[in-house]
Structure formats: structure tokens, C-alpha cells
């Protein structure tokens, strides 16, 4: 299957991960994107995950990269809830697709990159048959909760992932209309 691509506003180009892409570069982007959360004391996996962990976390999902010019500035993975680890009741519902490993380079924050990546993820999930997209993040990561709320996500539950030093809020957004419109 050819990679799905989009030319978003502001020079952002979003495309599916290709075999020629560097997982080292993707891992470094995740480290930069999650450093603020690490500085807040949260032990998110992406704060310091290895390249092998990056590979494992994208396996069986669609992974997308955002570029401005030739610089990787954002990423996310997308997959059906059935492929997500258990432990979260909401993720067990049919038609829920999960957006995770969502990150934006700190140099590009506040420029609309995150919103464009989310909108792209929602359109792609809808194309694949999703009825909702969902995310989870630390309940004290106020800046992320505000970002998701701004884009129409609502709180639907909590989850305590094994080994994490924070409780996550689960947020979801209904895709009742064609998000491509």
C-alpha cells in the first residue's frame, strides 16, 4: 500500500513512515517532544525509549511523520483499540482508534503543527472505519489536556498504566461526520 500523504498549511507535509526513514531520527524527535513531560516528573515511555522500543511501539500500527522542508517536526501512531494493551475499558469499545506517540518538536510548538497532525489522524481513522479517536495523557499535563479539549476531545475515563508514575485521563472524540469536510 502506498504511503498516505497530505500537504497541510504552513508548509507542513504529513506522510506515512517509510522503510527508508530513520528510526533513530524518529526516536530523537520523540525524546525532544516528551522532554518537557520528563522535566515535569512524568515517566512517559517516549521520554527515553530506545530505538528498539520505538520499533516495537509502531509495529502493527500506522506511523506518520510531519515535515517542514526536510526536517521531521512531528509524529503520531494510529491503530485500532483492539491492538492496544488492555487495562483501559474505553479502549475495548468497538470503533475506537488510538492516537499515541503523538509528539511535536519543541521548536514548532504553538505553530499549529499539533492541530494539523490531530486533524490528519482523525481523517485517516475515519477512512479506516473508526467512529472515535482516543488519546490518553497524564491528568496533570494541563497543557496537553487543553490542546485536546481545543480540538474537541472529551474526558471519558482514567487509566493507570503499569509502571507509570502518573494516572492518565482518557480522552475521546466522536467522528460522527466526515472529518475530511
User: The domain spanning residue 155 has which CATH number?
Assistant: 3.40.630.30
More confident residue, 8 or 181: 8
Which segment of 16-25, 69-78, 102-111, 172-181 scores lowest on mean pLDDT? 172-181
Q: Provide the number of structural domains found in the chain.
A: 1
Cell numbers at 105, concatenated: 518538536
What is the C-alpha to C-alpha distance for residues 31 and 149, in angstroms, rounded to an integer? 24
Indicate whether 47 pLDDT > 80: yes
Give the position of cell 500500500: 1
Please, which pLDDT band fits residue 8 given cuts at 50, 70 and 90? low
Indicate whether 29 pLDDT > 80: yes
136-152 average pLDDT score: 94
Indicate whether 126 pLDDT > 50: yes
Q: Is 179 a domain residue? A: no
Domain of residue 30: give its range: 5-174
140-150 average pLDDT score: 94
Indicate whether 2 pLDDT > 50: no
Who contacts 170 (Cβ-Cβ below 8 Å, separation ≥6)? Answer: 88, 90, 91, 134, 135, 136, 155, 156, 157, 158, 159
Amino acid at each position: 500500500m502506498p504511503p498516505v500523504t497530505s500537504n497541510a498549511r504552513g508548509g507542513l507535509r504529513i506522510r506515512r513512515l517509510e522503510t527508508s526513514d530513520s528510526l533513530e531520527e524518529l526516536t530523537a524527535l520523540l525524546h525532544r517532544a516528551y522532554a518537557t513531560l520528563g522535566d515535569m516528573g512524568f515517566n512517559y515511555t517516549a521520554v527515553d525509549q530506545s530505538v528498539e522500543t520505538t520499533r516495537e511501539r509502531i509495529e502493527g500500527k500506522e506511523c506518520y511523520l510531519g515535515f517542514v522542508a526536510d526536517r521531521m517536526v512531528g509524529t503520531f501512531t494510529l491503530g485500532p483499540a483492539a491492538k492496544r494493551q488492555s487495562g483501559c475499558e474505553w479502549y475495548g469499545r468497538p470503533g475506537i482508534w488510538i492516537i499515541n506517540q503523538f509528539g511535536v518538536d519543541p521548536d514548532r510548538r504553538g505553530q499549529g503543527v499539533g492541530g494539523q497532525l490531530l486533524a490528519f489522524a482523525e481523517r485517516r481513522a475515519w477512512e479506516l472505519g473508526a467512529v472515535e479517536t482516543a488519546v490518553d495523557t497524564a491528568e496533570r499535563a494541563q497543557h496537553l489536556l487543553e490542546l485536546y479539549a481545543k480540538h474537541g476531545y472529551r474526558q471519558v475515563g482514567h487509566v493507570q498504566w503499569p509502571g507509570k508514575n502518573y494516572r492518565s485521563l482518557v480522552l475521546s472524540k466522536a467522528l460522527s461526520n466526515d472529518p475530511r469536510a
